[in-house]
């Protein structure tokens, strides 16, 4: 594994064990998961697998102290299945802890990373917030904002810069341009904003993210109490990264034919799924005799991560593959149909929510 985690790259970081030994992540074990007030497939299946100080966040929640949830999106494209996982983490936390969600539209980062102007980011932001609403976010208990319009966040980012050296940034991220370093410092402002006086002061803040975003958490934890000794170090929970359809990288907006977008036409999704990596054997005879290698199969991951909530049904799906009872082609057809039905329903909900999303963004 590289000595750096690049939150702007497409690496998978398949050997997660090194993230614990090299970067100090903490394991999510059964004892910690049992403290949740409710659960879902992300927790039950170990998709959320690591944390930083989530136990301390739970301590505050159990004692009735104020807590908050914070996350965001770089508005540079449609939500894909990786974005969906993070959104589901966020929405679960908002509901489970009945806490306010602070949600950042990272249009400054979109400019720094993608050279995208604010007008384009605005339209993507409308789409992304509509996705969140369709996935179940409670907008009445949320503070949604653009980085470019939030002076408090920019001020905190500037103060964080005063407390940070280039050597620290290089150690965390590797050599990057100053725009990306600046975007990372502004994200410190995003994460610390819920602890400002105007938001009722210091509190435990949970940041649910993909594991590739850990450098941002480490940077913020490093500077938080340098900015204000009263600030509580932010907590984080981390999900496993979801692979691209060919299995080579994490799912990313940068590779349209290897990603499933929540806005994809269902017929296009069927074509994409039929091209996806499987764990199928070389011949039909071997498939029947030996069964599929499910641990290699992205099509199985589509069901495991996203499209089969029922654990018993998932076990039946896995058994069909591992026992050789189904061919990869037939399995892909079944999964493609299930995804297409999900997207048809999701897109209908989202369409109705677009006016509300635009109102939220343009208020």
Taking only the tens place, the pLDDT of each residue in 238-259 is 999 888 898 877 777 677 788 9
Residues 220 and 295 in one domain: no
Q: How far is CA 63 from CA 59, 306, 330, in A?
A: 6, 33, 51
Residues 204 and 107 in one domain: yes
CA-CA-CA-CA torsion sign (263, 42, 277, 337): negative
Give the pair of three-digit tokens for residue 283. 């011949």
Residues 103 and 22 in one domain: yes
Structural domains in the chain (count): 2
For residue 156, give the CATH number of its domain: 3.40.50.620
Among 243, 276, 303, the domain boundary falls at 243
Q: What is the mean pLDDT of residues 216-220?
A: 97
Distance, CA of 250 to CA of 11 (rounded, Å): 6
pLDDT band at residue 7, thresholds of 50, 70 and 90?
Answer: confident
Residues 230 and 269 in one domain: no
What does the pLDDT read at residue 307?
Answer: 96
Residues 113 and 212 in one domain: yes
DSSP state, residue 307: I
Q: Do the domain assignments include residue 171?
A: yes
Range of the domain at 212: 17-243
Q: Do the domain assignments include residue 24?
A: yes
Residues 93 and 190 in one domain: yes
What does the pLDDT read at residue 3?
Answer: 61
Residues 181 and 295 in one domain: no
Among 213, 243, 273, the domain boundary falls at 243
Q: Do the domain assignments include residue 359?
A: no
Residues 146 and 76 in one domain: yes
pLDDT at 35 over 60: yes
Q: Do the domain assignments include residue 258?
A: no
Q: Do the domain assignments include residue 360?
A: no
Q: What is the mean pLDDT of residues 198-215?
A: 96
Distance, CA of 96 to CA of 332 (rounded, Å): 34
Residues 117 and 229 in one domain: yes
Q: Do the domain assignments include residue 65?
A: yes
Residues 109 and 194 in one domain: yes
| Weakest mean pLDDT among 100-109, 215-224, 248-257, 297-306 | 248-257
Q: Do the domain assignments include residue 3?
A: no
In the block, tokens 């450098």 appear at 215
Among 243, 275, 304, the domain boundary falls at 243
Distance, CA of 252 to CA of 230 (rounded, Å): 37
Residues 48 and 122 in one domain: yes
pLDDT band at residue 282, thresholds of 50, 70 and 90?
Answer: confident
Residues 239 and 268 in one domain: no
Q: Do the domain assignments include residue 272?
A: yes
């Amino acid at each position: 594994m590289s000595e750096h985690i690049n939150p702007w790259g497409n690496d998978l970081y398949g050997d997660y064990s090194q993230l614990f030994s090299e970067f100090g992540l903490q394991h999510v074990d059964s004892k910690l998961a049992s403290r949740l007030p409710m659960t879902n497939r992300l927790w039950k299946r170990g998709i959320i697998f690591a944390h930083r100080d989530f136990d301390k966040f739970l301590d505050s929640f159990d004692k009735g102290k104020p807590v908050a949830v914070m996350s965001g999106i770089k508005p540079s494209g449609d939500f894909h299945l990786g974005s969906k996982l993070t959104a589901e983490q966020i929405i679960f936390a908002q509901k489970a802890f009945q806490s306010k969600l602070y949600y950042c539209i990272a249009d400054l980062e979109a400019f720094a990373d993608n050279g995208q102007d604010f007008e384009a980011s605005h339209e993507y932001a409308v789409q992304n917030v509509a996705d969140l609403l369709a996935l179940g976010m409670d907008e009445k208990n949320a503070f949604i904002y653009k980085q470019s319009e939030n002076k408090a966040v920019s001020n905190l980012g500037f103060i964080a810069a005063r407390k940070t050296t280039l050597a620290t940034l290089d150690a965390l991220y590797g050599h990057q341009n100053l725009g990306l370093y600046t975007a990372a410092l502004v994200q410190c402002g995003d994460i610390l904003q819920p602890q400002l006086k105007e938001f009722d002061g210091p509190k435990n803040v949970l940041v649910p993210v993909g594991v590739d975003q850990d450098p941002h958490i480490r940077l913020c934890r490093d500077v938080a109490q340098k900015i204000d000794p009263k600030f509580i170090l932010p907590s984080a929970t981390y999900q496993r990264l979801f692979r691209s359809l060919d299995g080579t990288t994490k799912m990313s907006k940068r590779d349209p034919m290897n990603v499933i977008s929540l806005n994809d036409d269902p017929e296009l999704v069927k074509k994409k799924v039929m091209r996806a990596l499987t764990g199928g054997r070389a011949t039909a005879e071997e498939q029947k005799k030996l069964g599929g290698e499910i641990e290699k199969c992205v099509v199985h991951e589509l069901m495991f991560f996203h499209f089969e909530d029922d654990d018993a049904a998932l076990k039946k799906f896995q058994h069909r593959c591992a026992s050789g009872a189904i061919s990869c082609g037939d399995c892909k057809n079944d999964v493609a149909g299930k995804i297409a039905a999900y997207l048809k329903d999701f897109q209908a909900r989202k369409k109705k929510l677009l006016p509300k999303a635009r109102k939220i963004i343009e208020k």
